[in-house]
Chains A and B, each alone.
Chain A
Amino acid sequence: MNRLPILTLSHISKRFAAQEVLSDFHLTINDGEFFTILGPSGCGKTTVLRLIAGFEQPNEGKILLNGEDIAGIPAEKRPVNTVFQSYALFPHLSVFDNVAFGLKMAEVDAQNIAVRVADALAIVRLSDFATRKPHQLSGGQKQRVAIARAVVNRPKILLLDESLSALDHKLRQQMQLELKQLQRQLGITFVYVTHDQEEALSMSDRILVMHNGQAQQVGTPREIYEAPRNLFVAQFIGEINVFDGEITRALGEYQYQAMINGVERDIRCDHRFAAGDRVHVMLRPEDLRIDCRPNVLERKGFPGVVLERNYTGQTLNSHIRLENGQAVTVHEFFDEDDPDFDYSINQKVGVDWVPGWEHVIPAERSGQA
């Protein structure tokens, strides 16, 4: 889908006292997309949100909304609304008055307010709760009121600050689905901040991964998961096995031979390398295969020993220690034709992958023997 940028942050830096939270930070968010800022706590993601909302001012840089610099506009006048992590519902006001608050501030007439609040409450399926007070609501209901209170103002951008983190697992999954549907239905740009990578992958059109105040990678969930640009992104999003290797020679365009754990292998990648370059060869647990043929000569891949195997229902997750001491994780789906599919602890196996499934990046740390 081709979308136009609605919000641009350029050259943003933000310091609190002596601590630099963001430095020379750039970000472009497109109109109508579900954009997620993902990172561990303290990475600066909430600061980005607060800069967009207007609760913080950048020390340097520009924030453009539809091409207009909004740096000087106070939070109360920006056409963006926030769903707070703690919901921040006004405890002395009814659900109706909470949702109507923004419209009253905008001096919408009473009749219109009644209609729009009713609509917003219908969208979040809380029509029967208009007269309740926040303390009479469950966590999920409070969450919905907070969303209704924000979207009723028809903001250009809706900011969500770890909005689902206070809910229990099941409710959170349900709300993830609802949020995504809501976003599609309203067509409003959502900027969602979270530290939960699963949540980010399942809801977003695009994800920004942040670490230590730096943008690490921007891309679709698929790009982020399948082609992480660096070790941090690879390890933060899902599980990954990293093999350290060294390029021995080029075989053709984007095809190389590399020495990995003492074994020569062909690898494919979209970087350019020269012989002698150190690389990380990365494989998701579900991309690895275990060869458990009893004859050691027939077995393919890196030899190792089964340390542990966990049955999860969908997959069998095995932890293997390779001969060089490296631990790898392998997730395999059950083969319905083989009811006895399982390994025994200490069983000798080989760990292998289908050529081309690996993802290779230049080495960031010195290789281990």
Chain B
Amino acid sequence: MKVLNFRRVAIVLTLVWLGLFVLVPHVLVVLTSVMSPDPQHLAVWPVTLASWERLFEPVYAEVFWRSLWLSTLTTAICLVLGYPFAYIVAKLPGVWRGVLLFLMIVPFWTNSLIRTYAIKLILGNKGLVNAALLGAGLVDEPLQLLYTPFAVVFGLVYVLLPFMVLPLVSSFDKLDGTLLEAARDLGAAFWARFRLIIVPLTMPGIIAGSLMVFLPAMGMFYVADLLGGAKNLLLGNIIKNQFLVVRDWPFGAAFSVALIVIMAGLLWLYFLANQRINRQGGLDDEGL
């Protein structure tokens, strides 16, 4: 009986928590998005779809596509860097594997905002990179690295790479080495093994890692704020500006809801893909 009670209490607590801190705020955001802006009271009645219509203004569409592009690029770079890294980590003997994963996690002990400031110091006109290039005589004047799309993507990749690597490592862990030997035995050289066996079987990790990089990348406004300057905005910057600078809460809320819907859509696609792969036996099979 005690166990049952505990279970009930746990469920109720969780529901209350989720209701208070997830459901209610989201409902409030959705509500705000259909209210009228007011500089003094932030959002007032009557109900209007004006904010939602403004989403389709070309200025915002441009930011949207730009943001999408930067996030996609970030995801692609994380995948290219993270995939071989995850493979190596997964194949290393226990101790080294632990050390590498630990080193990967260590930066999380410092707030990512502070780490982004650190990147600023590295990429700035008088930063480490330029000092090294000037010192080596490779360039005559400092390169403009900061406040470029490059700096934004660099910062995003730096902050988000671990989120790509961790799911990939777990995917590589599940990859049975005998399958690669079998493929070799049947005449598959390295690229054929990579394309036909390794990639399909680590697809769940690829999708999970990509989503875990792509979704936050759309919203990481402080990275774009600090490293990108005025031109390289992410969706998150617009939302932040509407709430804190312009004080147009309904429009900021509409933007937030739009972003949430996009992310939910992607997660749903992930769910579908995962189901498909599972049905193919990509994940659970051979685990026996």
Contacts and interface: CB of A to CB of B under 8 A. Distances in A.
B201 A92 contact: yes
Interface string A218-232: 000000000000000
Given A86-B178, A88-B179, A91-B201, A81 B281 contact: no
B178 A84 contact: yes
Contacts of B188: 76, 101, 105
A82 B182 contact: yes
Contact of B185 (A53, A106, A133): A53
| B189, B192, B196 interface centre (most CB from chain A within 10 Å) | B196
A55 interface: yes
Nearest to B192: A105
B179 A90 contact: yes
B197 interface: yes
A54 B185 CA distance: 8
B282 A77 contact: no
A149 interface: yes
Contacts of A80: 185
Nearest to B277: A92
A92 B200 contact: yes
A328 to B, nearest CB: 43
Contacts of B179: 88, 90-91
A133 B278 CA distance: 11
Contact of B182 (A74, A88, A92): A88
B280 A84 contact: no
Contact of B281 (A77, A101, A135): A135
A101 B186 contact: yes
A134 B277 CA distance: 13
B137 interface: no
A323 B74 CA distance: 85
Given A134-B281, A135-B285, A88 B181 contact: yes
A61 interface: no
Contacts of B285: 91, 133-135
Interface in A72-123: 74-77, 80-82, 84, 86, 88-92, 101-102, 105-106
B186 A102 contact: yes
B286 interface: yes
Nearest to A78: B185
Interface in B105-147: none
B183 interface: yes
A79 B259 CA distance: 56
B184 interface: yes
B185 A75 contact: yes
B187 A133 contact: no
A53 B277 CA distance: 31
Contact of B189 (A76, A82, A133): A76
B176 interface: yes
Contact of B187 (A77, A86, A91, A135): A77
B83 to A, nearest CB: 18
A153 interface: yes
Contact of A88 (B178, B189, B284): B178
Contacts of B196: 101
B181 A105 contact: no
A24 B281 CA distance: 44
Interface string B158-201: 00000000000000000010110111111111001000110011
Nearest to A152: B186
A153 B186 contact: yes
A322 to B, nearest CB: 49
B49 to A, nearest CB: 46
Given A84-B178, A86-B178, A105-B192, A92 B282 contact: yes
B185 A82 contact: yes
Contacts of B176: 86, 88
Contacts of B192: 105
| B176, B181, B184, B186 interface centre (most CB from chain A within 10 Å) | B186
Nearest to A85: B178
Given A88-B182, A133-B281, 9 more contacts: A75-B181, A77-B187, A82-B182, A90-B182, A91-B285, A101-B183, A102-B186, A135-B281, A153-B187
CB-based closest 3 A-B pairs: A105-B187, A102-B186, A88-B182
